[in-house]
Chain A
Amino acid sequence: IAGITQAPTSQILAAGRRMTLRCTQDMRHNAMYWYRQDLGLGLRLIHYSNTAGTTGKGEVPDGYSVSRANTDDFPLTLASAVPSQTSVYFCASSESGVMNTEAFFGQGTRLTVV
């Protein structure tokens, strides 16, 4: 089934550890995004990528890094996790440079940092 796949679905992580959340899409979308969802705050953009080889900072980029080596994959890395990074993380994709196109979302990764 076409779409976006995120892994893992959930994770409990010790503070200070490094963690990479994986995201893969098979729709050949150029634009990809990482959001975090927190109660009362909605979805906040962490990082995005307009096309392979380029990335940009969103609203809450601190403590996170991304890479975009190819069109399909957009991993999100927490270099040294902190409890405030406990959240549900969603990866999304859409056609790039097209204002009227919707984004497609993965099922999310629930991350708990202890």
Chain B
Amino acid sequence: AQSVAQPEDQVNVAEGNPLTVKCTYSVSGNPYLFWYVQYPNRGLQFLLKYITGDNLVKGSYGFEAEFNKSQTSFHLKKPSALVSDSALYFCAVRDPYNTDKLIFGTGTRLQVFP
């Protein structure tokens, strides 16, 4: 079965420090990967996606993600964290056997401390 895993329930980082939120995937064929962010009492907002090509994908709010095929990972990164980045982050993958299915990880709560 197609799946994504987010091994960390929570990530804590000081403001100004780099942050990484981890995601690994298990997909048959080429993966189509996404990152979403959820602020309190809000729906999910799209951050960035990997389709093909450059392994470093740039997205909204200064976030980027690095696709690593050998490690089946798609970690979300930001060079300098902001307190306002504190939110719940979800990794997702399209199911290649049903392109209209989007499969989500369990989410990682990012807490950025001043």
Which residues of A does B touch, CB under 8 Å?
4, 31, 33, 35, 40-45, 48, 50, 56, 58, 90, 92, 94, 96-100, 102-108
7 closest residue pairs by CB, A with B = A42-B106, A105-B43, A43-B104, A100-B51, A31-B100, A102-B46, A105-B44
Count B-side interface residues using an 8 Å CB cutoff. Answer: 26
Pair B106/A99 contact, Cβ less than 8 Å: no
Chain B binding site: helix, strand, loop or mixed by DSSP? strand
Q: How many A-B residue pairs have CB under 8 A?
A: 63
Question: What are 26 inter-chain pairs, A to B, with CB distance below 8 A?
Answer: A31-B100, A33-B100, A40-B9, A42-B90, A42-B104, A42-B105, A42-B107, A43-B90, A43-B107, A44-B104, A45-B102, A56-B98, A94-B100, A96-B100, A97-B99, A99-B51, A99-B96, A100-B49, A102-B34, A103-B102, A105-B36, A105-B43, A107-B43, A108-B41, A108-B42, A108-B43
